[in-house]
Structure 1
Amino acid sequence: MGFHTFPIERADALEDPSRYRLCSREELVAMLAPEPDHVVADLGSGTGFFADDVAPFVGTLRAVDVQSAMHDRYREKGVPENVDLVTAAVASLPFDDDGLDGAYSTMTHHEYASDEAFAELARVLRPGGRLVTVDWSAAGDDEAGPPVEERFSAAEAVADLEAAGFEVEEARERPATFAVVATAR
C-alpha cells in the first residue's frame, strides 16, 4: 500500500509518551527478544522514539526511515552511539543477505506494506531472525492513526508475511492495534 509517510511538520508528536499505550518498551523488547550482540533494524524509525528504547538491548540498531528529515530531527535529540541512521525504503534495504538478527516496526507497517517490502525483509533477516510488527488495526476502535482504509488487520498482515516465507509465531488484535511476531526461514 504505502499511502503516505508521516508529515515532518508533525514530528514532535512522535515523541509523545502516550504512544506507550499502543506498545510499551517492555512489550516491544519482549516480542523482539534481542541479544546484546544482535543487529536489529527499526523500520520507519522517525525521530527515534522506539529506537532509543531498543538500542540498550542490542549491539547495533539500524534506524531506517525513508525521510532524511526524520534523521535530522533524531540527530537534534541525540542519537545513541550504537544507532546507525539509514535513509532507505523498506522495499530496498542496503543490508547484506541475512544481515539482520531482527527487525521491528511500530505504527509504520501500513506505510511500507507491499510484496516487495516483505520479500526484502525475508532477504535481510537471517533464518530465525524475528520480525515484530505493531500497527494500527483495520478492526481497531481508535480514531488516531491513519484512515481505516489504509490499515491492515492482523489476519492480513499474517497472510502477507506467510506468503513472503515467514513463520508467524504470534498474532493478535488489540483494541486499537494488532501485533505480529514472525521469524524468517
Structure 2
Amino acid sequence: MGFHTFDVDRADALNDPGRYRFCSREGLLSLLEPVPTDVVADLGSGTGFYTDDVAPFVKTLYAVDLQPEMHDRYRDRGVPESVELVTAEVADLPFDDGALDAAFSTMTYHEFATDESLAELARVLGPGGRVVTVDWSARGDGADGPPVDERYDLGHAVSAFADAGFATTHAVERRETFVVVARREP
C-alpha cells in the first residue's frame, strides 16, 4: 500500500462542496451522533471542510493534520472558537488516555491505516468512544480520490478496527467509498 498526504498546492480543492456527494454533512452528523459535551478529533482535517460541519455540535473539536500548511490554510478561512488545531500523526496523538468521546475521518483512513494508528485511537478514546470512518474504497473505479492501489476495502477496515479493540456497529460498502462506525470496547 502506498502512503501519501494530500498535496498542499491543491488544498483549495478540499473546500469544494462537491465533496458532499461522497459524504454529506447530514450523513456525517448522523453517523457521529455528537452531543454538546463531546470532545472530538477530526483525523486528517486538512483545511477544515468537515471540521466546520461538526464544530457547532460539540464542546471541543481537535482538527488533527500532519501538515502545518493545512492548518495555515484553515486559519486563513477562519477557525471556529471550539476548534483547536493539532499538528500530529494519528499514530502519535498528543491527548491523554480516554480524552476523546469520538473521532472521525473523511477520506483520510488510507493515509493512516496502520496497527499503530488504530491502537493510538483506542488509547485516546474513552470506553464506548466512537470512530466514524468514510474513505475511498479499493473496490471503487478510481475516477475520484487516490489511486485504487492506495485504498483499502471495507473488510480490511472492519478487521483492523476489531484487532485494535473496536466493535463495528455500522459498516457499508458504497459505490466509491465505504463507511465504518466502530466503538471502543470497554
Interval containing the TM-score (normalised by the shorter chain): over 0.9
Residues 142 and 148 of structure 2 are in contact (CA less than 8 Å); yes or no, is this contact kept in structure 1?
no
Between the two proteins, the alignment pairs up a number of residues equal to 185
Q: Which residue of 1 aligns with 2:19?
A: 19
Q: Is the 8 Å Cα contact of residues 136 and 178 (structure 1) preserved in structure 2?
A: yes
Residue 29 (structure 1) aligns with: 29
- Look up the match of 1:85: 85
TM-score by length of 1: 0.98
CA offset digits 1:85-124 (Å, max 9, x no partner)? 0000000000000000000000000000100000000000
What is the identity, as a one-letter code, of the residue corresponding to 1:19?
R
Aligned counterparts, 1:1-185, within 5 A: 3-185=3-185
Provide TM-score, normalisation by structure 2.
0.98
Deviation, structure 1 residue 2: 6.4
The superposition leaves residues 115-153 of structure 1 with CA deviations (integer Å, 9 ceiling, x where unpaired) of 000000000000111100000000113411111111001
Equivalents in 2 of 1:154, 1:59: separation in Å?
31
Secondary structure at 2:160 match in 1: helix
Q: Find the aligned partners of 1:150 and 1:98 in 2 and give their Cα distance.
A: 30
Give 3-state SS (helix, strand or coil) of 1:6's partner.
coil
Distance 2:59 2:161 in 1: 26
- The RMSD of aligned alpha carbons is 0.8
- Is contact 1:2-1:114 (8 Å) kept? no
Change (3 A) 1:95 1:2: farther
Distance (Å, rounded) in 1 between the aligned partners of 2:26 and 2:11: 23
User: Which whole-Å CA distance do the structure 2 matches of 1:2 and 1:35 have between them?
Assistant: 36
User: SS in structure 2 opposite 1:53?
Assistant: helix
Question: In structure 1, what is the Cα distance between the partners aligned to 2:10 and 2:23?
Answer: 20
Which amino acid is the alignment partner of residue 27 of structure 1?
G
- Residue 2 of structure 2 contacts residue 149 of structure 2 at CA under 8 Å; is this kept in 1? no
Q: Percent of aligned positions with the same letter in both sequences?
A: 65
SS at match of 2:23: coil
